[in-house]
Chain A
Amino acid sequence: MRLAFKIAKQFLKNNKGQTVLILLGITIGISVQIFIGSLIDGLQLSLVDKTIGSSSHITISPSGRDNFFEDKDDIYSMLRADTRFTQVSSSFDAAGFLLYDEETYSLLSRGFDFQDANGIYKFDERIIEGRLPNGEREVALGIGLVDELGLNIGDELDFIIPEIALENVTLVGVFDLRIASLNRSWMITEISSAQKLFQREGQISSIETQVENVFDADIIAEDLSMSLSNSLQVDNWKAQNEELLSGLTGQSASSYMIQVFVLLAVLLGISSVLAISVVQKSRQLGILKAMGIKNKTASQIFLFQGLILGIFGGILGTGLGIGLTYIFSVFVTNPDGTPLVPFYLDYGFVAFSVAIAIIAAMVAAFIPARKSSKLNPIEVIRNG
C-alpha cells in the first residue's frame, strides 16, 4: 500500500501538466455541481418560504359539516410537545358581515391567540397601523378593506353575526398580509373575543401548525390523522399545492440531470487521462513487475492516483462552487437589492459532492488500474 501510494504520488508529481488538467476537470465539475445544486436548493427554499412560510403546514379541523370542536383531548398540548412541529396555534374562524353605510361586506372573522399565531402569520410584523387586538370586541382589518371604506383606527363598526345578533366592534389595527384577497376579507381578533361574539366559548375551529421539515408535512399529517378521532380531519399544504410541488419536482429533476451529466463528463475525462497514463507508464510498470511488484499493488498505484486527484479536486471544487454561489447571491440581485436567489448551502450536499468526486475519481481509475494489473512485464522488456 505504502509503496503504491509513493509511486502514485511520484507519478502525479512528475506529470504536472496532466495532473493539473485532471484536477481542473474535477474542480470545475464539482464546483458546477455544488453551484447548480445550491442555486436550485436556494431557489426552492425561497419559493417554498414565500408560498407557505406564513401559512399553516398542517391544519386540524372538524370533518364533515361541523365547523367547530372542543379540544377535549388537548391536541394542542400534544402537538406543542412534539418536536416535529415548530408552531402550533388554535384559531376560531367564523363568517360574518360588516355593515357599513347600509352595505354588507362578507368577512371571515379569525380569532387567534396572537402569541401563538405570530409564529405562523407574523401579524406583529404585518400590522402597519395601530396595534394587534387584545381585548374584547377589538378587531383588526386588512388594508384593502380599510382603504376601500375609508375607515380609521378607533372607528366603531357594526358586525353581523348570522342567526345571532348585530354586535359592535372597534377597529384597533390595520394589517397587510401582502395577499389582496386576505387583506379584503379577513377580520382578526383575540380568540376569546371571537368565541364570545359567536357564543361558542371553549370551542375552536382549527389547530394550525408549522413543521420543521416542510416536505415531510404529508407524512406527518398521515401519522397524525391515525392518532386523532374520526371527527377530525388533517390537511397538509402539500395536498393543497400540487402544482407548486410538481414545479419544484421538475426543477429538482432537471437539476439532478445536469449534475449527473456533469459528473459523467468528469468521470470520462479522468478515466481517459488515466488510461493514457497507464500506456505512458507501461515501461515503469513492466520493470516494477519484473522486480516482483504484485498485480494488486500495480493496480493500487492507479486507484491511489484516483483517490489523490478526487480528494484534491473535491476540495478545490467545493471552494470554487461555494465561491460561485456566494458571488451569484451578492451580485445577481432584485431591483430592491435583495439577492435574486438567497445564498444557501446545504453542508450535507457539499459533503455528498466531495464524496461523489472521490468515488468518481476512484471509479474512473478502476479501468486503468485493471489494465495496469493485467500488464505483462515481458511485453515491455521484450520491446525495450
Chain B
Amino acid sequence: MANVLELSKINKIYGEKIKTQVLFDVDLGFEESSFNSIIGASGSGKSTLMNIMGTLDKPTSGDVLIDGRSTKDMSANQLSAFRNETIGFIFQFHYLLPEFSVIDNILIPYEIKHGKVNAQALKRANDLIEIVGLTKVRKNKATDISGGQQQRAAIARALINSPRIILGDEPTGNLDSETTENVYNMLRDINNEFKSTFIVITHDKRIAEKADRIIEIKDGKISMDIRS
C-alpha cells in the first residue's frame, strides 16, 4: 500500500552555539490505514520526530512528504491549513480549551477549516461523541469532566475533520491502566472503521505490541522496526 507519510533524511539539531543533534538521517514511511507505534527512552528523540511529522517543528535538513507532497517550502499559513485538514493530534496532556464545552472543543478544528458549523458537522460531532462515550457530558465545560473523558474528547476532536493521519504523543501517558486499555481499544476501532493512519508514541510495551508495526528510536536513530 502507498505511503501516506514519508520522512526523508531527517536531521534535527538544536542550539546555535552548542549544537545538539537529536535526529540522524531518519528515513521512515508509513502506510495508509496502518496503526504504528513508536517507542524509545526519554530523550531518544521520539517526541521531536513526532513534532516534525506533524509539521509543528521543522527539520534542520531533510523533508517530510505527506500524501506525496513536500512540506519543506510551504509557508506558515499553508502549513496551518494543511495540518488542519490532514493531521489530527492527540497529546499526552489533553489540551482542551477550558473556556469551551466538550462539543465546542471537538468542533474547533472544523470551525478553523470552514469558518462556521453546519448541521452536518454538528451531527458528525455528536456521532464522534457517542463513539468516545461522552454523550452525557457533551455540554459540560472541558474542565468539568474526568481525565479519561478529557482524553477521549481530545480524540474526538482529532477525528472531526476526518484527517488522513492521527498523531498521538503518549495519548494515555497520564491515565490509569484500565482507562489506557479502553482508550487504545477505541483507537484501534477507529482505525478499523475510519481507515485513518495512526502513529502513536508510547513507553508502554504492552500497548505498543498491539500496533501493526513497532518502531524503536534510540539516540536519534531507528534501532528497531518490526511489522506484525
Query: Which residues of A are in contact with B by a Cβ distance under 8 Å?
Result: 1-3, 6-7, 10-11, 13-14, 283-284, 286-297, 377-378, 381-382, 384
List 8 additional contacts besides A3-B111, A291-B108, A295-B77; criterion CB under 8 Å. Answer: A290-B54, A292-B84, A293-B84, A295-B76, A296-B77, A381-B95, A382-B47, A384-B92
- Kindly state the separation between the CA atoms of A11 and B99 in the bound complex, as whole angstroms: 7
Known contacts A292-B80, A292-B81; A283 and B95 CB within 8 A of each other: yes
Chain A residues whose CB sits within 8 angstroms of the CB of B83 once the complex forms: 290-292
Most buried by A among B47, B76, B84, B99: B99
Q: Are B93 and A384 in contact (CB under 8 A)?
A: yes
Q: Are B99 and A14 in contact (CB under 8 A)?
A: yes
Known contacts A3-B115, A292-B81, A294-B77; A377 and B56 CB within 8 A of each other: yes
List 28 A-B residue pairs with CB atoms under 8 Å apart, sorted by A's residue number: A2-B115, A2-B116, A3-B108, A3-B112, A6-B111, A7-B99, A10-B97, A14-B98, A283-B95, A286-B95, A287-B91, A287-B95, A290-B56, A290-B83, A291-B84, A291-B89, A291-B109, A291-B112, A291-B157, A292-B80, A292-B112, A293-B80, A293-B84, A295-B80, A377-B56, A381-B95, A382-B47, A382-B51
B186 to chain A, nearest CB (A): 20
Q: Which of B103-131 contact A (CB under 8 A)?
A: 108-109, 111-113, 115-116
B121 to chain A, nearest CB (A): 13
Chain B residues whose CB sits within 8 angstroms of the CB of A2 once the complex forms: 111, 115-116
Instruction: Select from chain B the residue with minimum beta-carbon distance to A373.
Output: B76
How many B residues, CB 8 Å from partner? 31
B184 CB–A CB distance under 8 Å = no
Chain B residues whose CB sits within 8 angstroms of the CB of A13 once the complex forms: 99
Chain B residues whose CB sits within 8 angstroms of the CB of A296 once the complex forms: 77
- Kindly state the separation between the CA atoms of A286 and B97 in the bound complex, as whole angstroms: 11
Chain B residues whose CB sits within 8 angstroms of the CB of A377 once the complex forms: 56
Q: Are B108 and A288 in contact (CB under 8 A)?
A: yes
The interface residues of chain A, by DSSP majority, are classed as helix
- Kindly state the separation between the CA atoms of A3 and B81 in the bound complex, as whole angstroms: 15
Q: Are B91 and A381 in contact (CB under 8 A)?
A: yes
- Kindly state the separation between the CA atoms of A295 and B78 in the bound complex, as whole angstroms: 11
- Kindly state the separation between the CA atoms of A286 and B77 in the bound complex, as whole angstroms: 15
Q: Are B113 and A10 in contact (CB under 8 A)?
A: no
B24 CB–A CB distance under 8 Å = no
B111 to chain A, nearest CB (A): 5
Instruction: Select from chain A the residue with minimum beta-carbon distance to B51.
Output: A378
From the candidates B51, B80, B97, B116, name the one contacting A381 in the complex (CB within 8 A): B51
Closest 8 CB pairs of A and B: A292-B84, A287-B95, A10-B99, A14-B99, A292-B83, A3-B111, A292-B80, A291-B109
- Kindly state the separation between the CA atoms of A290 and B54 in the bound complex, as whole angstroms: 8
- Kindly state the separation between the CA atoms of A283 and B97 in the bound complex, as whole angstroms: 9
Q: Are A292 and B85 in contact (CB under 8 A)?
A: yes
- Kindly state the separation between the CA atoms of A357 and B55 in the bound complex, as whole angstroms: 40
- Kindly state the separation between the CA atoms of A10 and B141 in the bound complex, as whole angstroms: 12
- Kindly state the separation between the CA atoms of A288 and B99 in the bound complex, as whole angstroms: 13
A259 to chain B, nearest CB (A): 36
- Kindly state the separation between the CA atoms of A289 and B97 in the bound complex, as whole angstroms: 12
- Kindly state the separation between the CA atoms of A286 and B93 in the bound complex, as whole angstroms: 13
Q: Flag B137-160 by CB within 8 Å of A: 1 or 0 each.
A: 000000000000000000001000
Chain A residues whose CB sits within 8 angstroms of the CB of B97 once the complex forms: 7, 10, 284, 287-288
Most buried by B among A3, A14, A291: A291
B209 CB–A CB distance under 8 Å = no
- Kindly state the separation between the CA atoms of A267 and B116 in the bound complex, as whole angstroms: 33
From the candidates B47, B80, B99, B113, name the one contacting A284 in the complex (CB within 8 A): B99
- Kindly state the separation between the CA atoms of A261 and B109 in the bound complex, as whole angstroms: 43
Chain A residues whose CB sits within 8 angstroms of the CB of B212 once the complex forms: none
Chain B residues whose CB sits within 8 angstroms of the CB of A294 once the complex forms: 76-77, 80-81
- Kindly state the separation between the CA atoms of A330 and B89 in the bound complex, as whole angstroms: 64
Q: Which of B179-214 contact A (CB under 8 A)?
A: none
Chain A residues whose CB sits within 8 angstroms of the CB of B109 once the complex forms: 291-292
Instruction: Select from chain B the residue with minimum beta-carbon distance to A13.
Output: B99
- Kindly state the separation between the CA atoms of A2 and B112 in the bound complex, as whole angstroms: 9
A12 to chain B, nearest CB (A): 9
Chain B residues whose CB sits within 8 angstroms of the CB of A11 once the complex forms: 99
Chain A residues whose CB sits within 8 angstroms of the CB of B112 once the complex forms: 3, 288, 291-293, 297
B174 to chain A, nearest CB (A): 10
